[in-house]
Amino acid sequence: MSKNILKNIIVILPLFFAGISAQDQVDAIEAARQAKAAAEKAAADAEAATGAAIEAAAAKAAKEAREKIKQDKLDEEARKVAEKKAAEEAELDAAAAAAAEEAKRKMAEELGLEYEAPSNSEAVSEEDSIEGVSEEEEEEEEEVSAEEVVVREQLGYNIGLTGSSGLINGEFITNTPVGFSLVITTPIGFKLGKSALDFSVSVLAGSYSGESSDGNFDPITVGLGGNLELFNMLFYEGHVGLIGAGPGGRGFAGVSLEKILNNIKLPINVLVGAEGFLSTKPSDKREEASYWGGIGLRIDYSF
């Protein structure tokens, strides 16, 4: 019996150890299988994470590109708007400058002054620098230009020499006097209403030589008066003061050639008309009033 037990033990032990060994091999295979499954899952997860990262990066790049294109478009539109506005401002400035120059020209013409238009180089320089000039500086320049015109108005004197040849005279005068008058026209004056009639204050001094029933007749003339000019063409000039030996008056009316002479850039003006004198006391020997008159020609120079 003991032999049978021993025999059974000898048979069973190897089987037991073989079972244990087989179980260990099964556990190792299972573990390897599970490890492989885990590795495959990790790889899949890694691949999925990589794909998600690539998609996110692509979406971010696409969004940034879209925003950049949109911003570039907005910047381009803003640039076009700014350029259009700058062009409109430049056009308005150019129109305002042209209007200012035209106003200065008209004012100078009305005042009988010389007007010098800006040269092309000055116009180009002003156009090139207009973008860097502020509105305040432009207003100051316009004020300075206006002041220049006013100064020229305040200093605008005319000196004229009138010569006349007598045609008619009163009974006292036997040989119509011939001579000249010096007339200084001042800038003191005004425009009458909205018309083209201008009035300026002037002074007169002259000397004439002729003959009368009492002998030689050499009257002097001194007077204060004014000039009326219509459309820079028709004029009348009147003075009251000393004519001969007593109070009297002098008148000169005719046509001014100012427009014609301005067109040919001459610094003078020529006036042609009739000149007449009336004296309440032509000489110390004569108490009765008398007169004389004739054709007058005057040359004016402005300064």
**Same domain, yes or no: 236 and 200:** yes
Residues with Cβ within 8 Å of 102's Cβ and at least 6 positions away in sequence, in order, are none
Whichever domain contains 238, its CATH number is 2.40.160.20
In angstroms, the CA 261 to CA 266 distance is 5
72 occurs within a structural domain: no
Residues with Cβ within 8 Å of 245's Cβ and at least 6 positions away in sequence, in order, are 219, 279, 281, 282, 283, 284, 286
| Model confidence pLDDT, tens digit, residues 106-143 | 776 665 566 666 665 454 454 554 444 455 555 555 55
pLDDT tier, 157 (very low <50, low <70, confident <90, very high otherwise): confident
**Same domain, yes or no: 296 and 205:** yes
Give the pTM.
Answer: 0.50
The residue that leads in pLDDT, 203 or 74, is 203
18 occurs within a structural domain: no
pLDDT for res 140: 57
288 occurs within a structural domain: yes
1 occurs within a structural domain: no
Q: Using a CB cutoff of 8 Å and minimum separation of 24, what contacts does 253-259 make?
A: 254/296, 256/229, 256/232, 258/112, 258/232, 258/233, 259/232, 259/233
**Same domain, yes or no: 126 and 204:** no
- Domain count across the chain: 2
